[in-house]
């Protein structure tokens, strides 16, 4: 686990004025990575770091000699920490880099962002126990959780080609569905389109095939965390998911925040990983003293919705739910890495591990509409009187995340938004 150092100092301030404003997602204590270019240009995407409402071009600042984010992610922990320290020192008040680096800044409002790295492979896990239990009750009332759930991190391999960045616009998916009283399935557009509130863990340095990553070393192989919305067609899913799991119900679109908040930046916001009393403890390969002591992440997640009517009337998105990852995730990021590689599977820089839907124990902490509306049986009423059971055409879904604790400066994960048409 990353130790606290000078880059986390709550007293640290930046010569970029917007980075010192209360409530900003990107103070100098954060410094998340992304890929950007000037909006409207055809330039190659470059590596940038968010600072306040600006993005710092790392190559223009002389901090890197590559535009390949995956190559940067492949660096060792010491190199990553040294780069973070150099960026922090150069952006700090009184730095002699201010004059030169001011020329390497671009307002985020004038930047076009893309997926923060090349994603070669994508595995989606199922770590949200409250989500798993609620969904299980809808599909299997007699056995909400399968016997393996509390022993093994459940996951499936998703589709990397359809992952987009925040601002994604995608078409409503089509596929087969089957009504309970129908003799045979029908084909058409999904009528139960949903979102999934997730975190995405991005792999840094990989491992050789046949060489598992021990849980004690797992976080050395994680570059950082981003927000993830894994759009889901629940009616397609119900018909296709047995016996091999999700397929067309998931692979049509997923969306990421443009920023990767590094594991180093999250050091002040770690939490104990504790299983509820009476639950089985992890097998030895999924257990370590450091994981028990601080393997969990303390991140607040919010979901907001803006309908087409709201947008036309200039009404801002309204919050549907808010919850915290410490109450939602049954497995830690380190456990996901250790389990993914225990059979010899080789991870590579830029691989994405989805957390699965992170719902809290309370109804207003649900991470999907299928939970919030109890499978569509209890529609929600928005402040303008519109009702929703599942997403309708023109709806924009927004996920935001942030970390805050006494004694630390609040940092944010930005947001990921997407619109169905």
- DSSP assignments along 148-199, one per residue: TTTTS--EEE--STTEEETTEEEPPPEEEE--TT-SS-EEEE-SSEE--EEE
364 is known to lie in a ligand binding site: no
275 is known to lie in a ligand binding site: no
Predicted pLDDT of residue 138:
83
- Look at the pTM and tell me if it is higher than 0.85: yes
List of residues 6+ apart from 43 with CB closer than 8 A? 37
198 is known to lie in a ligand binding site: yes
Q: Please tell me which residue in 8, 130, 131, 339 is annotated as part of the active site.
A: 131
Q: In the annotation, is 131 catalytic?
A: yes
CB atoms within 10 A of CB 52: 23
Do 273 and 295 form a contact (C-beta atoms < 8 A)? yes
124 is known to lie in a ligand binding site: yes
Predicted pLDDT of residue 273:
97
93 is known to lie in a ligand binding site: no
Predicted pLDDT of residue 1:
63
Predicted pLDDT of residue 141:
85
Domains 6-114 and 122-420 share a fold: no
The Cα 412–Cα 53 span in angstroms is 12
| Cα 232–Cα 399–Cα 124 angle in degrees, nearest 5 | 45
Ranges of each domain in the chain: 6-114, 122-420
330 is known to lie in a ligand binding site: no
Residues of the chain with pLDDT under 70: 1
pLDDT one-digit tens code per residue, 351-364: 999 999 999 999 99
68 is known to lie in a ligand binding site: no
404 is known to lie in a ligand binding site: no
- DSSP assignments along 324-383, one per residue: EHHHHBSS-HHHHHHHHHTTSPPP-TT-EEE------SSGGG-SSHHHHTTTTTS-EE-T
The Cα 157–Cα 296 span in angstroms is 23
Q: What six digits make up the tokens of 268?
A: 């002040």
pLDDT one-digit tens code per residue, 283-332: 999 999 999 999 999 999 999 999 999 999 999 999 999 999 999 999 99
122-420: CATH architecture: Alpha-Beta Complex (3.90)
Distance of CA 212 to the CA centre of its chain: 24
Coil, strand, or helix at residue 2?
coil
The Cα 174–Cα 183 span in angstroms is 20
The CATH number of 6-114 is 2.30.30.230
Q: What is the DSSP letter of 139?
A: H
């Amino acid at each position: 686990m990353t130790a606290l150092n000078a880059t986390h100092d709550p007293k640290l301030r930046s010569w970029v004025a917007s980075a010192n404003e209360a409530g900003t997602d990107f103070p100098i204590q954060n410094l998340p990575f992304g890929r950007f270019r000037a909006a409207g240009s055809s330039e190659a995407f470059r590596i940038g770091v968010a600072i306040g409402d600006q993005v710092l071009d790392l190559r223009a600042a002389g901090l890197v000699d590559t535009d390949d984010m995956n190559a940067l992610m492949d660096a060792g922990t010491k190199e990553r920490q040294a780069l973070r320290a150099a960026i922090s020192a150069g952006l700090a008040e009184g730095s002699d880099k201010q004059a030169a680096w001011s020329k390497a800044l671009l307002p985020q409002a004038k930047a076009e962002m893309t997926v923060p790295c090349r994603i070669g492979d994508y595995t989606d896990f199922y770590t949200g126990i409250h989500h798993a239990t609620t969904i299980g009750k809808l599909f299997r009332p007699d056995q909400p959780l399968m016997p393996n759930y509390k022993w093994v991190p459940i996951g499936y391999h998703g589709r990397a080609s359809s992952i987009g960045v925040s601002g994604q616009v995608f078409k409503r998916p089509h596929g087969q569905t089957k009504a309970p009283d129908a003799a045979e399935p029908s084909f058409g557009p999904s009528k139960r389109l949903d979102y999934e509130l997730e975190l995405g863990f991005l792999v840094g340095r990989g491992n050789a095939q046949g060489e598992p990553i021990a849980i004690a070393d797992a976080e050395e192989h994680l570059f950082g965390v981003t927000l993830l919305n894994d759009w889901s067609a629940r009616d397609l899913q119900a018909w296709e998911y047995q016996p091999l799991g999700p397929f067309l119900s998931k692979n049509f679109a997923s969306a990421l925040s443009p920023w990767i908040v590094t594991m180093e930046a999250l050091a002040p916001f770690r939490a104990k990983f504790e299983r509820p009393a009476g639950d089985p403890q992890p097998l030895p390969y999924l257990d370590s003293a450091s994981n028990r002591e601080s393997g969990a992440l303390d991140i607040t997640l919010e979901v907001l919705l803006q309908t087409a009517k709201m947008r036309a009337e200039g009404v801002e998105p309204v919050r549907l739910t808010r919850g915290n990852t410490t109450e939602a995730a049954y497995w830690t990021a380190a456990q996901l890495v250790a389990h993914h590689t225990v059979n010899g599977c080789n991870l590579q820089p830029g691989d994405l591990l989805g957390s699965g839907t992170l719902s809290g124990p309370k109804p207003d902490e649900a991470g999907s509409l299928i939970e919030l509306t109890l499978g569509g049986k209890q529609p929600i009423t928005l402040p303008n009187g519109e009702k929703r059971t599942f997403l309708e055409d023109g709806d924009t879904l927004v996920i935001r995340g942030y970390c805050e604790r006494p004694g630390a400066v609040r940092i944010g994960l930005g947001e990921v938004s997407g619109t169905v048409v």
